Amino acid sequence: MADPVPPRLYLDDLSVGDRFRSATHALSEEDIKGFARVYDPQPFHLDDTAARQTLFGGLAASGWHTAAITMRLLVDGGLPLSSIIGLGGELSWPNPARPGDVLHVETTIQEILPSRSKPDRGVVQCECTTLNQRGDVVQILRPKLMVFRRPAA
Amino acid sequence: MADPVPPRLYLDDLSVGDRFRSATHALSEEDIKGFARVYDPQPFHLDDTAARQTLFGGLAASGWHTAAITMRLLVDGGLPLSSIIGLGGELSWPNPARPGDVLHVETTIQEILPSRSKPDRGVVQCECTTLNQRGDVVQILRPKLMVFRRPAA
């Protein structure tokens, strides 16, 4: 049997207070170093020995890596919208993600603002919290998303 | 002659109003699709033909890709601090980055808050604007950075 297709939600389908939970992603040491080599080559993201001498006390993922993994978890059904188009938002990293962490994302719909000028869409304020397997929060993202209404049949 | 080593600045070296400009990064269609396949596999980041039917009107980089490239430009001397450790901040993407765009980052130091409890460090509020070759703003990031004072000699 094929996997069930996840539902794809539109603006009309959302209510304030709706909650969604993503699948999980296991973060490896090699992934952390691979992302850092390309996008954030600082010692605490590249080398465990060097990282021990830093604020992080050991190898830690770049916050931008945590953000990118969070996006993938959301796109893969963690936030089952027809499309996920971010306008911007607030971002914080209360704890670093570490090698071996198993991450997932919990999302709450906080506000829904239908557009006055463009009736086919609205802006949705969400809170997306990324946690590891111990429940430590590694990222809080509060994005404003552009969400379309369901197209006319 | 070896390239000059860029200066590495500490909290004591910064003043409100200081401005920095990064080198440039040319964004290719392959880079956009490669990042999207791993972290943001939505049609408008993966396929030019599909993207034409969407809000973006053509292939556009994931905002998280723009953020990651911005970080690399900052680490490579665009913000010549001893280390760049973000606590979080605000992020927005006023325009998408496109294939062929040549990006750079302009940073302004907006506020410097020495820590009261930890005299070796402080928090620096910056504004980092990422622009393309036409001067279009593709990202505004207002990060709070943890910046150390210069270690005692």
Confidence of residue B3 (pLDDT cuts 50, 70, 90): low
**Mean confidence (pLDDT) of chain B:** 95
Interface contact flag, B72 A40, Cβ < 8 Å: yes
Confidence of residue B6 (pLDDT cuts 50, 70, 90): low
Structure confidence by residue, pLDDT tens digits, A67-80: 999 999 999 999 99
B100: CB partners within 8 A, 6+ apart: B26, B27, B28, B29
- When pLDDT is averaged across residues B134-153 and rounded to a whole number, the result is 95
Report which of A7, A5, A6, A14 is spatially closest to residue A149, judged by C-alpha positions. A14
Write the residue in B67, B87, B146 that is nearest to A67 by C-beta.
B67
A146 touching chain B per CB within 8 A = yes
Which residues from chain A sit within 8 angstroms of residue B35, using beta carbons?
68
Q: Identify the pLDDT of residue A6.
A: 62
What percentage of chain A exceeds 70 in pLDDT? 96
What percentage of chain B exceeds 70 in pLDDT? 95
Q: Identify the pLDDT of residue B153.
A: 72
Q: Identify the pLDDT of residue A152.
A: 82
Q: Identify the pLDDT of residue B77.
A: 95
Q: Domains (ranges, CATH) in chain B? A: 11-148 (3.10.129.10)
Rounding to the nearest 10 degrees, give the CA dihedral for residues A44, A46, A39, B88.
Answer: -20
A40 touching chain B per CB within 8 A = yes
Per-residue 3-state assignment (H helix, E strand, C coil) for B105-152: EEEEEEEEEECCCCCCEEEEEEEEEEECCCCCEEEEEEEEEEEECCCC
pLDDT at A13 > cutoff 60: yes
Which residues from chain A sit within 8 angstroms of residue B92, using beta carbons?
87-89
Interface contact flag, A93 B88, Cβ < 8 Å: yes
A2 touching chain B per CB within 8 A = no
Structure confidence by residue, pLDDT tens digits, B48-100: 999 999 989 999 999 999 999 999 999 999 999 999 999 999 999 999 999 99
Structure confidence by residue, pLDDT tens digits, A86-140: 999 999 999 999 999 999 999 999 999 999 999 999 999 999 999 999 999 999 9
B100 touching chain A per CB within 8 A = no
Cα separation, A149 vs B59, in Å, equals 22
Q: Identify the pLDDT of residue B140.
A: 98
| Integer angstrom CA distances of residue B40 from A43, A58, B34 | 26, 28, 10
pLDDT at B152 > cutoff 90: no
Q: Could you write out the DSSP letters of every residue in chain A?
A: -PPPPPP-B-GGG--TT-EEE---EEPPHHHHHHHHHHH---HHHH-HHHHHTSTTSS----HHHHHHHHHHHIIIIIS-BS--EEEEEEEE-SS---TT-EEEEEEEEEEEEE-SS-TTEEEEEEEEEEE-TT--EEEEEEEEEEEEPPPP-
Structure confidence by residue, pLDDT tens digits, A17-42: 999 999 999 999 999 999 999 999 99
pLDDT at A3 > cutoff 70: no
Report which of A44, A35, A46, A42 is spatially closest to residue B80, judged by C-alpha positions. A42
Given a contact cutoff of 8 angstroms between Cβ atoms, the answer to whether A37 and A43 are in contact is no
Tell me if residue B14 falls in helix, strand or coil: coil
Cα separation, B24 vs B104, in Å, equals 5
- When pLDDT is averaged across residues B5-28 and rounded to a whole number, the result is 93
User: How many CA within 13 A on the CB side of residue A117?
Assistant: 0
Give backbone dihedrals phi and psi of B69, rounded to 5 degrees, phi first.
Answer: -65, -40
A95 touching chain B per CB within 8 A = no
